[in-house]
Structure 1
Amino acid sequence: MSTLTIALDIMGGDHGPPVILDATLKAIRTHSDCQFILCGNQDIISPAIAQLNDAERQRVSVSHCEQVVDMGEPPTSALRNKKQSSMRRILDLVDSGEASACVSAGNTGALLTLAYYQLKTLAGVDRPALVSAMPTASNHKVFLLDLGANVNCTSEILFQYGVMGSVLAQQVEGIESPRVALLNVGEEDIKGNPQVKHADQMFKNAPGINYIGYVEGDQIFTDKADVVVTDGFTGNVALKSSEGLAKLVVHEVRRQSQRNIFTRILGKIALPLLKSIYNRMNPDQYNGASLIGLRGTVIKSHGNASSDAFYYAINQAIQEAQMQVPDKIRTKIETVLLEQL
């Protein structure tokens, strides 16, 4: 397999380049089989890569960018006025084949718009989807999509999401026949809006998709399904709610363990268990939403990502590039999706 090249937007994110660069240096040192193109202000990037040894620096190049897409900038403004931005550059590198994948923690709306414009969608895919892996009650993960790329979805788009999510779960998690479900307000056939009901019929008639029917919100994390499909509005609310709950649990465990001398002693005794709970629920390790359905691998990190969280997003980009996820989705579309629509 040829060496993978990953393009990174150094300027994106709420916390600025220092956090992104810290994660980038860790990735460079960890993934000795990968090349990295760092896109952004050269004056900011150069002091950071000076910390690398000679062998590491040989795997890194800097693409100087004069512009930055602001976190609150309208997507249309980024498309029209920021052609020399670090966000646009990483997409250009994927489009030209110079990079195998790219990662940004920048403005979500701008990244979606620029990626859709620059990379285009695969044949048979109307809209790309944001998808991320989330923890379940078992050791497995569940892929939830869409997470906000499209707040209004037709039945056809929901069906496309299920096909793409199935491929992602198969390639990334190694699940031979991923269980695909539709998120609904109930499990009964009579429940749901017309779009969900029609998508349900499309899945039932689709060859090659292991469709198991409806799931409710409380079943997302029970390992009932490997892929849960919904529209971007509902998916984003579900994602943010789960992240908020995870943070609350971690906060309460810490707070309760410091209430008095007795709880502090119990906290120390239970420290291994508390660490295990924290590691299972820490949202950082699930950072990195894939923008699937495009002719290239694009990973969106949370804007407020920590250094560890952005590092996980880089790992996600490397894994999907190694698995050639866009090509696998294209093949699945040709055999299932285009026949169905």
Structure 2
Amino acid sequence: MTAGPRIAIDAMGGDSGPAAMLGGLARARRKEPDLHFLLFGDETRIRPELARYRGLEQALTLIHTTDFITPEEKPSQAIRRARTTSMGMAINAVKDGQADAALSGGNTGAMMAMAKLALRTMPGIDRPALAALLPTLGTHDCVMLDLGANTECDAQNLVQFAVMGAAYARTVLELSRPRVKLLNIGTEELKGTDELKEAAALLRDADYLPLRFDGFTEGDQLSRGNIDVVVTDGFSGNIALKTAEGTARFVTDLLRNAFKSSLRSKAGFALSRPALNLLKVHLDPNNHNGAVFLGLNGLVVKSHGGANAKGVANAVGVAARMVRNQTTRKIGEDLDNFRAHAFAAEAAQ
């Protein structure tokens, strides 16, 4: 069998630690038997979980460390322990060429700081961005970035995010020319900050890139299915994401309470169960797990801290697809193309 993607795993990150991680790796390997894992963590905690999954040990290399990053740890503290913690060692495995991608469900701020320090940003990228998939009413999910890595962004940052997000959508969603929009307070060209207006002007002129810029969108359109990539600053993106997740939980809880309110409601629940199960699957964050730090010289995937085995498996799948489709190379080619055209335009003036 041809060697597949090598993925470095922080086994100690996430709310459930090795239990969810090992379960996720086993599920992921059933789908993609050529995967190989470098597993970093406390061997005394990992071995009992590993014994539950027959054949998984042959697909991984276990590197023992008892040191790990806590959820409350500050990025500045985490950086100092990058070489001894399970998260830092997984990221450094990508830097050293031992792994093709790293995955953790741990502290997001620490993960970003260590990844940026170890892997550095790609040429043409000022700041890396955190991208994730959001469920929609369309035929596929929607890529959204930035989701919290950069609270303030200028026009160039937003354009870079658009290029990276489109390359990611081409890989994960298998779209040849993704539809890209900027998140704004209105769809009219005159609305929004100067940074948004400038970014929109730059993207309108970039018709040579493998993306289709469709202007602005408002927050209520994110789930409609008419956008492939939504671009925004990390402050707005994080608020939009958390609001969407809270709304999904609100609707789910509202329906649950409504169906418990009377005998007639309970009878209605029995009839509606197939549709409600479909709704549950669509809104389950484990089915959309796997945020990605884009713009680094290496692939780093963030799993949700509360992800179960299914969620971890989906995050592993995201990492594997990015490796197989050479997403980092595609981003670099698109950025080179954008810079070359921008330089030519300046020279012509």
TM-score category, normalised to shorter length: over 0.9
Helix, strand or coil at the partner of 1:279: helix
What is the letter of the counterpart of residue 115 of structure 1?
A
Compute the displacement of 1:27 (Å).
Answer: 2.6
- Which residue of the partner structure matches residue 262 of structure 1? 264
Rounded to whole Å, the distance in 2 between the matches of 1:155 and 1:278 is 38
CA contact (8 A) 2:119 2:296 kept: yes
Helix, strand or coil at the partner of 2:62: strand
Helix, strand or coil at the partner of 2:124: coil
Compute the displacement of 1:57 (Å).
Answer: 2.0
- Which residue of the partner structure matches residue 163 of structure 1? 163
Deviations 1:111-139 (A, max 9, x none): 00000000111110111110111111212
CA contact (8 A) 2:37 2:59 kept: yes
Decide which moves more: 220-229 or 71-80.
Answer: 220-229
> If the length of structure 1 is used for normalisation, what is the TM-score?
0.95
Rounded to whole Å, the distance in 2 between the matches of 1:16 and 1:4 is 23
- Which residue of the partner structure matches residue 70 of structure 1? 70
Q: How many residues align?
A: 340
Compute the displacement of 1:80 (Å).
Answer: 1.3
Helix, strand or coil at the partner of 2:37: strand
CA contact (8 A) 2:182 2:200 kept: yes
CA contact (8 A) 2:81 2:88 kept: no
**Aligned positions of 1:112-123 closer than 5 A:** 112-123=112-123
Decide which moves more: 3-12 or 155-164.
Answer: 3-12
- Which residue of the partner structure matches residue 44 of structure 2? 43
CA contact (8 A) 1:185 1:191 kept: yes
Compute the displacement of 1:98 (Å).
Answer: 1.5
Compute the displacement of 1:338 (Å).
Answer: 4.9
- Which residue of the partner structure matches residue 227 of structure 1? 229
Compute the displacement of 1:225 (Å).
Answer: 1.6
- Which residue of the partner structure matches residue 307 of structure 2? 305
Rounded to whole Å, the distance in 2 between the matches of 1:277 and 1:28 is 27
CA contact (8 A) 1:68 1:82 kept: no
**Aligned positions of 1:91-130 closer than 5 A:** 91-130=91-130
**Aligned positions of 1:269-284 closer than 5 A:** 269-284=271-286
Rounded to whole Å, the distance in 2 between the matches of 1:339 and 1:78 is 40
Identical aligned residues as a percent: 35
Compute the displacement of 1:307 (Å).
Answer: 3.0
- Which residue of the partner structure matches residue 288 of structure 2? 286
What is the letter of the counterpart of residue 255 of structure 1?
N
Compute the displacement of 1:106 (Å).
Answer: 0.6
- Which residue of the partner structure matches residue 81 of structure 1? 81
- Which residue of the partner structure matches residue 177 of structure 1? 177
What is the letter of the counterpart of residue 52 of structure 2?
Q
Rounded to whole Å, the distance in 1 between the matches of 2:282 and 2:226 is 18
RMSD of aligned alpha carbons: 1.6
- Which residue of the partner structure matches residue 137 of structure 1? 137
Rounded to whole Å, the distance in 2 between the matches of 1:191 and 1:327 is 35
Gaps of 5+ in 2: 344-349
Question: Are positions 1:59 and 2:53 aligned together?
Answer: no
Rounded to whole Å, the distance in 2 between the matches of 1:284 and 1:248 is 17
Helix, strand or coil at the partner of 1:270: helix
Compute the displacement of 1:39 (Å).
Answer: 0.8
CA contact (8 A) 2:27 2:310 kept: no
> If the length of structure 2 is used for normalisation, what is the TM-score?
0.93
Rounded to whole Å, the distance in 2 between the matches of 1:338 and 1:159 is 14
Helix, strand or coil at the partner of 2:213: strand
Helix, strand or coil at the partner of 2:148: coil
Rounded to whole Å, the distance in 2 between the matches of 1:128 and 1:47 is 37
What is the letter of the counterpart of residue 200 of structure 2?
D
Helix, strand or coil at the partner of 2:292: strand
Helix, strand or coil at the partner of 2:56: helix
- Which residue of the partner structure matches residue 200 of structure 1? 200
Rounded to whole Å, the distance in 1 between the matches of 2:134 and 2:7 is 24
Compute the displacement of 1:329 (Å).
Answer: 0.8
Rounded to whole Å, the distance in 2 between the matches of 1:43 and 1:100 is 26
- Which residue of the partner structure matches residue 214 of structure 1? 216
Helix, strand or coil at the partner of 1:144: strand
Decide which moves more: 210-219 or 304-313.
Answer: 304-313
CA contact (8 A) 1:165 1:227 kept: yes
Rounded to whole Å, the distance in 1 between the matches of 2:200 and 2:129 is 19
